[in-house]
Chains A and B, each alone.
Chain A
Amino acid sequence: MILNPLILLSAQAYVFVAIFKVQMENYSLYLVSGLLPWMFFSQTLEMTSSAYVNQGSLLRAFNLKPMTITLSQVIDNALNSLIAIFLVFSIHFIIFHKSLEFELSILSRFTLGFIPWILTVITVSFIVGVLHVSYRDTKFVASFFLQVGFYLTPILYPSNYVPTQMAWLLKLNPIYVLIRPMQVRSENLPTLIWLEEYLLAWGLFIVIALISWVIWKKEQNNFYAKI
């Protein structure tokens, strides 16, 4: 769970820098800081979206709260992601001799940005799992939107590659809003700009949480009967 993304990231960094010639300061760090959280989200969603249906007998037999299953998977995946990112940042620091101040700055921004991200992953995984109990193709619908979202979100490419007339669309992309505070960009990114992005991410998480709460309230009464 740690080596897999690290090897994949190395290959992607090589392809995009050496072959596609992406021109961006700290591109490898930018790639890692966007791709690792994305992989954490997509793997968690993949594992948990049908978990309540698969573990239905366990949930019913012991009257377990469904969030128990989601949380156990999220925490496991999150730990692996955080270890991987820490390893990458450490290796980058050793090889490229960037200033300690820069490294601490990106590490702290990534860690802070990871908080609303992991909360959103928990919430989205939970509600997709709940909806999958009522509508058994939810997992596949979610997977489809995930694939589309991956290409529409500047993870593999810098956000300034998006044409200016389409740039406003990025603000409507929830994944972009949530992943932005974690992404490593310029060494001189002003704190105020980062803070604005960070507060936006928290605001979006609260909206997602509220929508999920409304859906759960509607589904919870007959959740165990439908599993």
Chain B
Amino acid sequence: MQKFEPEIKISDLTLTFNAQYFYPSTWRDRFVNLYRPPSVLSQPENILKNINLNFKNRERVGLLGLNGAGKTSLCRCIAGTYKPTQGSVEVRGQIQSIADVSIGLFPELTGRENIKILSELLHPDKESKDFEDEICSFSGLRKYLDLPYKHYSNGMKARLALSAISSHPSDILILDEVFDGADMGFRAKIGKRVHQMIDNSGIVLFVSHNPRQVLEVCNRAIVIFDSEVILDGTPEEAVAEYESLCRANEN
């Protein structure tokens, strides 16, 4: 499928946020702070520290870690959403990043119209008409496709979103905890389609809190803890390390 081999090179990546990213300021605060010493909240917070990773074509990499470890931030740095404070991220290939299945869906529009918009957002470089009909058919929503999205049940919403996001492979695919919410029957149906999408993609980064999914899908896995990569190995090793982190965290 690809004319070249996709690749991701991450060198000495550090991402630091100041407290102002968590507490948006105002012009009034800016004026007042001229006369006030900086508080401890203005100290920078390390989100990612000294990350060095290379991802090559055909790698399906699981990203495991506790909440707040830095998995999503790493995905956003790769996707170009966050600019590294230090270091660099070099990407060769088209990136498709899917994080939240409810984003890009508009309650007042019909299911069909939402599929059209979502297709254009996910695949801006492709003719969305080519696979809109296929997505509509796969979702199984039939007559409900012409009803406003706001009237859908959670299961119907999941069907629509998952049908759209699993419609097309990519050079680099980032899946950030997207495969929840669908009913069991649809999960079986979507599982095969997702596997097909993953098989046809170049590099896949798969963020999940479900070790079983990582073992099923990935051929490499990384564990992130406290903003650093602590393990880069086989999925079995990563799952074992992740589970021990979860137990330690519970205690």
Question: CB-CB contacts of A62-75 with B at 8 A, as 1s and 0s?
Answer: 11100000000000
Whether a CB of chain B sits under 8 angstroms from the CB of A57 is yes
Whether a CB of chain B sits under 8 angstroms from the CB of A217 is no
Whether a CB of chain B sits under 8 angstroms from the CB of A137 is yes
Chain B residues with Cβ under 8 A from A58's Cβ? 103-104
Whether a CB of chain A sits under 8 angstroms from the CB of B247 is no
Taking CB atoms and an 8 Å cut-off, the chain B residues in 1-43 that contact chain A are 17, 20-21, 24-28, 30
Chain A residues with Cβ under 8 A from B28's Cβ? 137
Q: How far is the CB of A153 from chain B (nearest CB, A)?
A: 23
CB <8 Å contact, A136 and B80: no
Whether a CB of chain A sits under 8 angstroms from the CB of B183 is no
Taking CB atoms and an 8 Å cut-off, the chain A residues in 51-66 that contact chain B are 57-58, 60-64
Whether a CB of chain A sits under 8 angstroms from the CB of B249 is no
Whether a CB of chain B sits under 8 angstroms from the CB of A222 is yes
CB <8 Å contact, A62 and B121: yes
CB <8 Å contact, B103 and A135: no
A221 to B16, CA, bound (A): 12
Taking CB atoms and an 8 Å cut-off, the chain B residues in 184-211 that contact chain A are none
Name B's interface SS.
mixed
CB <8 Å contact, B83 and A61: no
Q: How far is the CB of A133 from chain B (nearest CB, A)?
A: 8
Chain A residues with Cβ under 8 A from B25's Cβ? 134-136
CB <8 Å contact, A138 and B27: yes
Q: How far is the CB of B164 from chain A (nearest CB, A)?
A: 12
Question: CB-CB contacts of A211-227 with B at 8 A, as 1s and 0s?
Answer: 00000000011101110
A66 to B121, CA, bound (A): 14
Whether a CB of chain B sits under 8 angstroms from the CB of A141 is yes
Question: CB-CB contacts of B62-75 with A at 8 A, as 1s and 0s?
Answer: 00000000000000
Chain B residues with Cβ under 8 A from A133's Cβ? 24
A119 to B28, CA, bound (A): 30
Taking a contact as CB atoms closer than 8 A, the residue among A60, A64, A134, A220 that contacts B76 in the complex is A60
Chain A residues with Cβ under 8 A from B30's Cβ? 135
CB <8 Å contact, A225 and B17: yes
A134 to B21, CA, bound (A): 8
Q: Which residues of A contact B (CB under 8 A)?
A: 57-58, 60-64, 133-138, 141, 220-222, 224-226
Q: List 16 A-B contacts (CB under 8 A).
A: A58-B104, A60-B76, A61-B100, A62-B104, A63-B79, A63-B81, A63-B95, A63-B97, A134-B20, A135-B30, A136-B24, A136-B25, A137-B27, A222-B21, A224-B82, A225-B82
Q: A63-B95, A134-B25, A135-B24 known; 6 other A-B pairs, CB under 8 Å?
A: A58-B104, A141-B27, A220-B83, A224-B76, A226-B21, A226-B24
Q: Which residues of B contact A (CB under 8 A)?
A: 17, 20-21, 24-28, 30, 76, 79-83, 95, 97-100, 103-104, 121-122
Question: Closest 9 CB pairs between A and B?
Answer: A137-B26, A61-B103, A221-B83, A224-B81, A62-B121, A136-B24, A135-B27, A57-B103, A225-B21
